[in-house]
Amino acid sequence: MLLSRKLFISIESNKVKELKKYLKDALGVDAEIRELTPARLKALPIYLAEEYRFHLTELYRQDILLVIVKNSFTTDSLRKHLDTIRSTFNTITIAVIDRLEAYKRMRLIEKKVPFIVPGKQMYMPDLLIDLKEFGLKPQGHAQNMQPATQFLLLYHLQIELLEGINLKGIAEKLNYNAMTITRAVYYLHNMGLCTLQGTKDKFLHFESNKRDLWEKAVPFMNNPVKKTQYYNGWIDDKNLYKSNMNALAHYSDMNEDVIEYYAVKPGYTSHIGGVNLKPTGPLEGNICIEEWKYNPFFLARQGFVDPLSLYLYFRNEPDERIEMSLEQLISKIAW
């Protein structure tokens, strides 16, 4: 037991040294990092005091509490724990994480959870810092993607690479007019997500691999659902694609919902209804039809909506079970 504790202290000491070096290399700061005293730790609930290790430092004349993550976590549980710790000590609180999977990093940024991965990345929105291995990222406000732009990118990521196809060919493939695709492509270009090649004919070129492209683009993407309507009855329509909780259960270990959820293309809800299907409210309905902002048909897999659109639908859900299912969904994608 004594040997195990000495080994843990040695490992933690190395982590602190690595963190100090990263702060020096990235920010030019010689940070003094000291362990939080046991007396101050008593202010925390026991489960939090045992779950993490706590150190204090100062950055840009701001007191910072560094919370070293020892065990596996969900992003929502970490967010809640940091909120409690921050409220207890009334100071900026930042998670220090040894290794961080890409999808968890993305979820933490979406939830504005501050963190440092020594040697890799720091995200501290309270200090306006978002620093990755490749440099400082401007904290600007960019316009969110239009549906056609999002659809184009999701098609490239999940169905077929759009490299080497001119813009007219992309428009025909995706069933959009040429002007809409041109606007979509120039948005991606202006956001630094792609480059344009060619003179007379323009071609898309993506510098990033698919996984990195997704991570760069996802903060600007939107919920694909435009509106929903609940019904009582039954329906048999080949233009419906299983969505929502039914699709999440398909892609993860989440249980099925008693309600049947279906996605349809823009405008198709006007064709839904009839003798066997009557509109009703969410408490009485057994079927929910979601009208999407783009056609789910082109991205669908075996009758289910695509996983990345599904992620975008659920990503702001506070339910920890859904969050765990989303992490499972993303981890299964063959980038």
* Residue at a domain's end among 220, 249, 276: 220
Whether the predicted pLDDT of 258 surpasses 80: yes
Judged against a pLDDT cut of 90, whether residue 306 lies above it is answered with: yes
pTM of the model: 0.73
Residue 140 falls inside a structural domain: no
197 and 260 co-located in one domain? no
pLDDT at residue 226 tops 80? yes
Burial of 188: CB neighbours in 10 Å, binned 0-12, 13-18, 19+:
buried
**Are residues 304 and 261 part of one domain?**
yes
At 137 the pLDDT is 45
Q: What is the pLDDT of residues 269-303, one digit of tens each?
A: 999 988 889 999 999 999 999 999 999 999 999 99
22/115 same-domain check: yes
Confidence of residue 130 (pLDDT cuts 50, 70, 90): low
Q: Are residues 182 and 84 in the same domain?
A: no
Three-state SS at 289? strand
Q: Of 157, 192, 220, which one is at a domain's C-terminal end?
A: 220
Is 326 inside any structural domain? no
Report the amino acid identity of residue 37.
T
Q: Would you put residue 299 in left (φ > 0), alpha (ψ -120 to 50) or beta?
A: alpha
Distance CA 335, CA 329 (A): 12
Tokens of residue 263, six digits: 């996605």
State how far the Cα of 298 lies from the Cα of 295, in Å rounded to an integer.
7
Domain contains 321: no
Q: Is residue 46 part of a domain?
A: yes
Residue 142 lies in a domain: no
Confidence bin at 155 (pLDDT 50/70/90): very high
pLDDT band of residue 134 (cuts 50, 70, 90) is very low
Do 53 and 103 lie in one domain? The reply is yes
More confident residue, 110 or 147: 147
Structure tokens at 9: 């202290």
307 neighbors 251 (Cβ within 8 angstroms) = yes
229 and 126 in a single domain? The answer is no
pLDDT digits (tens, 9 = 90+) for 168-225: 999 999 999 999 999 999 999 999 999 999 888 889 999 999 999 998 899 899 999 9
How far apart, in whole angstroms, are the C-alpha atoms of residue 132 and residue 207? 17
Q: Which two tokens stand for residue 295?
A: 């056609």
Q: Of 220, 240, 265, which closes a domain?
A: 220
Pair 176, 245 in one domain:
no
Q: Where are the beta strands (DSSP E) in the chain?
A: 34-35, 52-59, 62-69, 92-96, 115-117, 121-124, 129-132, 135-136, 195-197, 203-205, 225-233, 241-242, 260-264, 277-280, 287-292
Are 294 and 195 contained in the same domain? no
Tell me which residue of 251, 256, 245 sits closest to 328, measured CA to CA. 251
% of the chain surpassing 70 pLDDT? 93
Residue 41: alpha-carbon gap to chain centroid: 32
Angle at 112 between CA 28 and CA 330, to 5 degrees: 110
Query: 238 and 192, same structural domain?
Result: no
Alpha-carbon dihedral 153, 158, 163, 164, rounded to 10 degrees: -120
* Overall number of domains in the chain: 3
Burial of 80 (0-12, 13-18, 19+ CB in 10 A): middle
Whether 331 is in a domain gets the answer no
Same domain, 194 and 153: yes
> Residue 158 domain-assigned?
yes
| pLDDT of the residue at 132 | 62
Higher pLDDT, 272 or 133: 272
147-158 vs 210-217: helix axis angle to the nearest 10? 160
Cα(113)–Cα(93) distance, integer angstroms: 9
pLDDT of the residue at 131: 64
Domain that holds residue 192: 147-220
Q: Is residue 7 one of the residues assigned to a domain?
A: no
Tokens of 320: 């920890």
> Are 59 and 35 found together in one domain?
yes
- Statement to judge: residues 212 and 261 lie in one domain: no
